[in-house]
Amino acid sequence: MFDRKSHWQHVYQQRSVTDVSWYQGEPTLSLDLIEQSGVNRGDSIIDVGGGASVLVDRLCSAGFTNLSVLDISGNALLNTKNRLGEQANGVEWFEADITQFEVPHPFSLWHDRAVFHFLTEERDRQSYVRRLNDALRPGGQLIIAAFAIGGPTKCSDLDIVQYDLEKLMLVLGEEFEFVEERRELHITPANKEQKFNYFRFEKV
């Protein structure tokens, strides 16, 4: 039986965070969508799967003060805590599988770049959406970035699910109202192209 946690722990033990294919030196599109969402600097934001991302660094620098980062890999989280230094003390950290996450309090914004598309089983997608609904307050903002139709079919030796807007809305259900979509051609550290779609929704 596949052990998701062991897989990602191994990835971050064996490879530098700047060598993994999803690494971004600057999360420009995510930052722009967060700004467009209208959340205040003191609103509660969670970055799902953000263990090795520099998004939390950039949000701290931009004056956001109520930040949480969730990742299944403690190794990924430790890397980012060490990078942030004393700033890490002001961030809420969760080492958890998102499909089993016990939501501690409401969030105003949920950001996920490249976690949801790894959930190839229907039961895992349903578990994710239940946690999302529990976590996000009414009027809260959801930003999901996933591999686009025609993009990669595998990542980190794992199968993924490609998404367009129609396909994603079928999974999310009627609780989420579509706001905008952006497209990104991500260039990996190995200089390969990956097609991403970014979607922003509002919880109704």
Residue 146 resides in a domain: yes
CATH of the domain at 146: 3.40.50.150
Q: How far apart are CA 131 and CA 174, in angstroms?
A: 15
- Helix, strand, coil percent content, the chain, rounded in steps of 5: 35, 30, 35
Residue 133 near residue 70, CB atoms below 8 Å: no
Neighbour-count burial of 175, counting CB atoms closer than 10 A to its CB (0-12 exposed, 13-18 middle, 19+ buried): middle
Looking at the 3D structure of the chain, how many domains does it have? Answer: 1
Span 4-15, pLDDT tens digits: 777 667 766 666
DSSP string, 133-196: HHHEEEEEEEEEEEEBTTS-SEETTEE---B-HHHHHHHH-TTEEEEEEEEEEEEPTTS-EEEE
Q: What is the pLDDT of residues 108-142, one digit of tens each?
A: 999 999 899 999 999 999 999 999 999 999 999 99
In a domain, 6, yes or no: no
Does the residue 202 lie in any domain? no
The answer to whether 8 touches 72, Cβ cutoff 8 Å, is yes
Q: Which of 12, 10, 23 is nearest to 82 (CA)?
A: 12
In a domain, 149, yes or no: yes
The answer to whether position 21 is within a domain reads no
Distance CA 86, CA 19 (A): 25
Q: Which segment of 9-23, 157-171, 188-202 scores lowest on mean pLDDT?
A: 9-23
Q: Say how far apart CA 100 and CA 94 lie, in whole Å.
A: 12
Residue 181 lies in a domain: no
Q: 165-172 vs 122-135: helix axis angle to the nearest 10?
A: 70
Host domain of residue 143: 26-174
pLDDT at 127: 97
Q: Could you count the other beta carbons within 10 Å of the beta carbon of residue 74? A: 16
Provide CB contacts within 8 A for 69, sequence distance 6+. 46, 47, 50, 51, 56, 77, 80, 91, 92, 93, 94
SS3 16: coil
Q: What is the pLDDT of residues 43-97, one digit of tens each?
A: 999 999 998 899 999 999 999 999 999 999 988 899 899 999 999 999 999 999 9
In a domain, 191, yes or no: no
* Within-domain flag for 71: yes
